[in-house]
Amino acid sequence: MLAPRLILLKIGPVPMLLAFKNVSLIYNPKHTVLDSVSFSLNDGGFYFLTGPSGAGKSSMLRLIYQSERPTSGQISLFGEPLENNDPKKKTALRRKIGMVFQDFRLIPHLTAWENAALPLRLAGVEEEYVKRHTKELLEWVGVGDRLDAKPGELSGGEQQRVAIARAVVSKPRLLLADEPTGNVDENTALKLFHLFDELNKLGTAVILATHQSHLVEKFHKPALRLADGRLKRF
Ligand SMILES: Nc1ncnc2c1ncn2[C@@H]1O[C@H](COP(=O)(O)OP(=O)(O)O)[C@@H](O)[C@H]1O
Ligand SMILES: [Mg+2]
């Protein structure tokens, strides 16, 4: 009996993506959004975060991105506790995270490929690589024929594909998506969910928050469900 146990100890645990330990978030004394929530997620996984509107999904993503701090409890990301207030450490952690929002948040006067290229340009990456990599990525997400279009000339689904490309252009370890299909039709939503799945298969961990439970049910992925401040995993 001892030998297998020893082997397990040697290999060690699966690398940790995220851990919440007794995390509470209280915006005002009458409203507890998260009530001592604890869970952990493995690195590289694809997780849905579900629950009705107002359940605290966006708040939880903000806690992970460190734009919100918990009222109490501990959060660790990529094995590091998020208690340290050092801005350099926060910036370094945020660089490993890509974000996608319901309202796309593209810059209206920039073209599709300029929007997607922005994080690389801001990081001072060499222009020739930026152009080549961004164009390849936009082709991969399915908007290769719309490179020079401005956001106002693109459909909702196309805009979200550009926003997804921008979120992953720097090869983040984690992609956070907050209701990414809230502004597109059902058919497009399904295609975008498949795109997130493909990105996950290429190695990016994904946490996708959505209240669209009928879409979640089509994918056999672990889901965290928030309701009344509590979290259930299924
Ligand atoms: N900055 C804030 N200040 C006060 N209340 C907030 C704030 N952000 C969110 N809330 C409240 O917290 C609850 C959870 O909101 P949210 O995280 O946006 O939920 P979801 O994304 O699941 O719809 C809601 O009742 C919302 O009104
Ligand atoms: Mg929300």
What's the start-to-end Cα distance of the chain, in Å?
A: 31
Q: Given pLDDT bands bounded at 50, 70 and 90, which one contains residue 12?
A: low
Quote the CA–CA distance of 80 and 15 in Å, as a whole number. 12
Does 25 map to a domain?
A: no
Does 6 map to a domain?
A: no
Reply yes or no on whether the pLDDT at 2 is more than 50.
no
Residue 8 main-chain phi, psi, to 5 deg: -60, -40
Does 53 map to a domain?
A: yes
Question: Ligand 1 centroid vs 27 CA: distance in angstroms?
Answer: 8
Is any ligand 1 atom within 6 A of the Cβ of residue 57? yes
Residues 189 and 156 sit within 8 Å (Cβ to Cβ):
no
Does 51 map to a domain?
A: yes
Quote the CA–CA distance of 234 and 222 in Å, as a whole number. 6
What one-letter code names the amino acid at 7? I
Instruction: Look up tokens 């004394």; give the residue.
Output: 29
Q: Is 75 left (phi over 0), alpha (psi -120 to 50) or beta?
A: beta
Reply yes or no on whether the pLDDT at 14 is more than 80.
no
- For position 166, which CATH number holds? 3.40.50.300
Based on the structure, what is the number of domains in the chain?
1
Does 1 map to a domain?
A: no
Q: Given pLDDT bands bounded at 50, 70 and 90, which one contains residue 29?
A: confident
Question: Ligand 1: which residue has its CA nearest to atom 10?
Answer: 27
The pLDDT value recorded for residue 30 is 84
Here the tokens at position 10 are: 């040697």
> What does the pLDDT look like over 188-197, one tens digit per residue?
999 999 999 9
Nearest to 165 by CA among 137, 145, 128: 137
Domain that holds residue 195: 44-70+86-233
Quote the CA–CA distance of 207 and 225 in Å, as a whole number. 12
* 7 or 17, higher pLDDT: 17
Quote the CA–CA distance of 127 and 190 in Å, as a whole number. 34
The model carries a pTM of: 0.93
Does 59 map to a domain?
A: yes
Is any ligand 1 atom within 6 A of the Cβ of residue 58? yes
> What does the pLDDT look like over 72-90, one tens digit per residue?
999 999 999 998 778 899 9
Q: Given pLDDT bands bounded at 50, 70 and 90, which one contains residue 110?
A: very high
Question: Ligand 1 centroid vs 130 CA: distance in angstroms?
Answer: 37
Does 10 map to a domain?
A: no
Instruction: Look up tokens 């998506």; give the residue.
Output: 177
Does 7 map to a domain?
A: no
Residue 19 main-chain phi, psi, to 5 deg: -140, 130
Reply yes or no on whether the pLDDT at 159 is more than 70.
yes
- How far, in Å, are 17, 156, 163 from residue 8 at the CA level? 20, 48, 41
Indicate which ligand has the atom closest to the C-alpha of 229.
1
Length of the chain: 234
What three-state secondary structure class fits 225?
strand
